[in-house]
Copies of this chain bind each other. A is one copy, B any other.
Amino acid sequence: MAGTNSELPLIAEGPVIILVNPQLGENIGMVARAMANFGLAELRLVDPRDGWPSDTARAAASKADHVIDGASVHDSLADAIADLNFVYATTARSRDGFKPVRGPSVAARTLRTRYRGGERTGILFGRERWGLNNEEVGMADEIVTFPVNPAFASLNIAQAVLLMSYEWMKSGMEDESQTPFQAVEQTPATKQDLFGFFGHLEEALDARGYFRPADKKPRMIDNLRSVFTRRAMSMQEIHLLRGVISSLDRYSRKNPRGGEGSDG
């Protein structure tokens, strides 16, 4: 299921992802894949341990080749962010200092606003084992950190990039309840449609003596109708349910163990 589909729009924009001293090619590849999943494209590597290019990274990227091919290598973090206007540092640890600390969704909205204003932005991610040092965090404008389980707080680098990329994608949506596809479109039923259905059902049940004893009938009808009024029904659902009732009401069972009238 991985890889690009050339018939669909490829989103490739937004903040630069900067990995400081990444150790494993596999992690770099998973970072590239996560970026591609959520429409980011520009990857910069500061002094990657095992050099670059990396076959391991390409394999782990699951065909996010546009990210791998576009990645650049830099000797220093200062060089890697020289052309950017606004940079976040990701860290799981509290730091001394005056820098504002943001959650991922607030940070993503800030990045989106600055991106729309024409600024070049970036997000720094540290080494697999110990993250960013204080000097590196100091080069960023603000800090972003994740709301994690206090006793199990360590995210790997690809997971951290995934979450920021995902929040970036969400920050571009007009409404976060938007989904890439929707349920089959249905026409809301009117109350008249609903009452027609009730009449159909209750008539079929009445014909079989379902409402016994007679003085309980109003209460039984109330309860039965409640089942179908807990949420607004669609025309399609009412049509389907009326088909069910017609089938039960009009046709005898084909199963020999049942026999006619077995639902009476």
Contact = CB atoms under 8 A, between A and B. Distances in A.
Contacts of A38: 147-149
A113 to B, nearest CB: 15
Interface residues of A, number: 68
| Number of copies of this kind of chain in the complex | 2
B98 A148 contact: no
Contact of A9 (B103, B151, B181): B151
A229 interface: no
- Main SS of the interface on chain A? loop
Nearest to A62: B154
A151 to B, nearest CB: 4
A236 interface: yes
Interface string A23-38: 0000000000110111
Given A7-B151, A143-B183, 8 more contacts: A2-B156, A10-B151, A93-B181, A105-B176, A106-B177, A147-B179, A149-B169, A159-B159
